[in-house]
Amino acid sequence: MVRLLIASALLASLLLATIPQVHADNYQNIINNGNIAYDLLIYDSYDNMAAGNYLSNLTVFYKESPFPDITLTGSILGIPQEDLKSIIEMPSISHFRLSYQNISALMKNGRIEMNGWTISYGGKGIFQLSDGRFVEGIDVTISFASGSKSAMYDPSTGLLIMENFYISSQQGNVYVFFLEISSYGPVSGTKLPVEKLTILELFSFLIIALAAYSIFNRNKYRVL
């Protein structure tokens, strides 16, 4: 198992070289003056997530001006809209974009302490957008109280590329959240040959299989 992980990591490192870096200057006006769109898929289990059977497909818009905020289009039965917004923002609305200083400190030290929450660096990774393109980012774990989110950031713009977590309501319902930046958002990517996709899918599966989530207690929901 250890050898497989090492081999997968080496292969992924080689493949990362084929993916272009994002140039932050090209998208600064979009980030500062416009809304960044994210696709949010909500499932009732990881099995249904793997099968693509989602309960709800929403759009999340993140903006920084005049102050950081998100708006939602769509809803899901069982979670009030205000609670849904709060869950997505956890642990803070500021986690949608990290500063250049945050990114530099994270990659240098492997960990940064924010205001009551922590981001731990997990190395470079690759993520497939909904249009099939691959982008390079940095994998992190966002830890707050006793809960966590698995996420990826664009190292050039500091934007959140994706995050994955699940919650349990007081009624015992489980919801799996998968948030990803829209394919037309301010990130660049590339198509890869089919033979490389198989390797990437295996590597992604190993990362997901090894990810662990702890329980976070809050008033109405627990983020796991």
Tens digits of residue pLDDT in 70-114: 999 988 888 899 999 999 999 999 999 999 999 999 999 999 999
- Which range (89-103, 142-156, 193-207) has the least confidence? 193-207
Judge if the upstream peptide bond of residue 66 is cis by omega within 30 degrees of 0.
yes
Q: Report H helices in the chain.
A: 2-16, 28-33, 46-51, 81-89, 100-109, 194-210
Contacts of 69 (CB under 8 A, 6+ apart): 62, 63, 93
pLDDT exceeds cutoff 90 at 139: yes
pLDDT recorded at residue 213: 38
Query: Left (φ > 0), alpha (ψ -120 to 50) or beta: where does 132 sit?
Result: left
CA angle 84, 52, 133 (to 5 degrees): 95
Taking the whole predicted model, whether its pTM rises above 0.85 is answered as: no
pLDDT exceeds cutoff 70 at 196: no
Query: What gap in Å lies between CA 35 and CA 32, rounded to an integer?
Result: 8
Q: Number of folded domains in the chain?
A: 1
For 132, the domain range is 2-223
